[in-house]
Amino acid sequence: MRADETYGHVATGRPPIITLQGHILEQQSRHPEATGTLSWILSAISISAKMIAAQVRRARLIDVLGSAGEENVQGEQQQKLDVISNEILLRTLGGREGVAIVASEENEEPVLLRDEREGPRRYCVLFDPLDGSSNLDVCGGVGTIFSILRHDRRSDRAEDSLLQPGSQQVAAGYVLYGPSTVCTLTIGLGVDLFVLDPSIGAFVRVEQGLKIPTHSKSYSVNEGNRLQFPQGYQDYLGWAQQNGYSSRYAGAMVADVHRILLKGGVFMYPPTAKAPKGKLRLMYEANPMAMLVEQAGGKALAAPGQRILDVRPEGIHQRVPVVLGSPAEVDHVMDHVAAGAAAA
């Protein structure tokens, strides 16, 4: 037990109070070779999250709901808060020396911030600034998802440096703006959970080494698309319904994955006739969530036997089918999908 932990336990019999900032510094001190660059980037994300949370909380009052009147690179309407959140992240991360490239779901091209081939180790930060933003108008949960990769200095083009499989992520996480603002983070050593205490303006650690339940009779999918799914997914849903499963779907990946991490079950966005690779983006949504779920002991697959984290990206905005959650529940889905494909 470390000295600070001992102090907390001895003084009060309860664990010490650690903020996200303190947690990051604590992790950094365990890696003597660390320069603090990654810590500095995570602190920029935490500041962005507090700023976005403040906007989300007052959204109806400050007239930032609804469409900004433009389409993003995916051809979808941008909400005003999408644009605001994107700008907050670009501005906070842009000021951090350690960030070489930022890429956002909302921007067609990644932004190359610093080009030096030599110098300190730098990172690329990818994010979906406000995932599930169509939930905003009805006061539903929305979130920010982020992924951090090492900058590959051998690449000339910013996009090439970003096209690394998810297994190369150095850190990943999301912030859920719900009744509480919750930050879930992994830097490859398990998953830790923080809750924003608005009265002190800090994220406070509430759980370390989060573990996903190994199984739970719950699935999360847009069932309105059911008849468009490949046969195996349809068969799985029939099987689950015959076996007493519950259906839970918030329509915002951050909210759905958060529930799965805490309560177990399976979240999926399968291929559909309209979107043969599914709807979710590999780099901004699937990879960071897959890293979190695997770090919590779960599984995250794009197809039977195909880890999302092993998918080789070809474009920064590419989409991928997603099935993630409790290991036993992901297996149930993929067993049906494999059988459906074999029968076709």
Q: What kind and span of H or E run contains 184?
A: strand 181-186
Interface with ligand AHM (CB under 6 A), residue from 80, 96, 151, 279: 279
The CB-of-149 to Mg ion minimum distance in angstroms stands at 18
DSSP 231: H
Number of residues that bind ligand AHM (CB under 6 A): 11
Interface with ligand AHM (CB under 6 A), residue from 172, 253, 311, 320: 253
The CB-of-256 to ligand AHM minimum distance in angstroms stands at 6
Task: Say which amino acid occupies 329.
Answer: E
Site string for ligand AHM, 200-239 (x = CB under 6 A): ----------------------x-----------------
* 133 touches, from Mg ion, ligand AHM, none (C-beta below 5 to 8 Å by class): ligand AHM
Pick the closer one to ligand AHM by CB: 274 or 312.
Answer: 274
Site string for Mg ion, 100-139 (x = CB under 5 A): ----------------------------x--x--------
Among 210, 208, 240, 212, smallest CA distance to 226 is for 240
Q: Please give the sequence-ordered ranges of beta strands (E in DSSP) within 187-332, or none if there are none.
A: 191-197, 202-207, 218-220, 246-247, 266-269, 299-303, 306-307, 322-325
CA–CA separation, 240 vs 332, rounded Å?
9
251 binds ligand AHM (CB under 6 A): yes
Residue 323 burial (CB count, 10 A): 29
| Residue showing the smallest CB distance to Mg ion in the complex | 131
Pick the closer one to Mg ion by CB: 131 or 256.
Answer: 131
* 67 touches, from Mg ion, ligand AHM, none (C-beta below 5 to 8 Å by class): none
252 binds ligand AHM (CB under 6 A): yes
Pick the closer one to Mg ion by CB: 128 or 192.
Answer: 128
CA–CA separation, 293 vs 126, rounded Å?
18
131 binds ligand AHM (CB under 6 A): yes
Among 263, 296, 69, 72, smallest CA distance to 172 is for 296
132 binds ligand AHM (CB under 6 A): yes
For residues 296-306, b (16+ Cβ closer than 10 Å) or e, as one string? bbbbbbbbbee
Pick the closer one to Mg ion by CB: 104 or 164.
Answer: 104
Interface with ligand AHM (CB under 6 A), residue from 128, 192, 235, 329: 128
Residue-wise DSSP of 88-115? HHHHHHHT-TTEEEEEETT-SS-EE---
The CB-of-131 to ligand AHM minimum distance in angstroms stands at 5
CA–CA separation, 101 vs 123, rounded Å?
7
Residue 32 burial (CB count, 10 A): 6
Task: Say which amino acid occupies 182.
Answer: V
Interface with ligand AHM (CB under 6 A), residue from 22, 25, 47, 76: 76
CA–CA separation, 329 vs 206, rounded Å?
26
Task: Say which amino acid occupies 289.
Answer: M
The CB-of-177 to ligand AHM minimum distance in angstroms stands at 13
Site string for ligand AHM, 256-275 (x = CB under 6 A): -------------x------
Pick the closer one to ligand AHM by CB: 96 or 279.
Answer: 279
3-state class (DSSP) for residue 203? strand
CA–CA separation, 267 vs 121, rounded Å?
35
The CB-of-294 to ligand AHM minimum distance in angstroms stands at 19
88 binds ligand AHM (CB under 6 A): no
Query: Which residues bind to ligand AHM, rule: CB under 6 A?
Result: 76, 128, 131-133, 222, 251-253, 269, 279
Which residues contribute to the site for Mg ion (CB under 5 A)? 128, 131
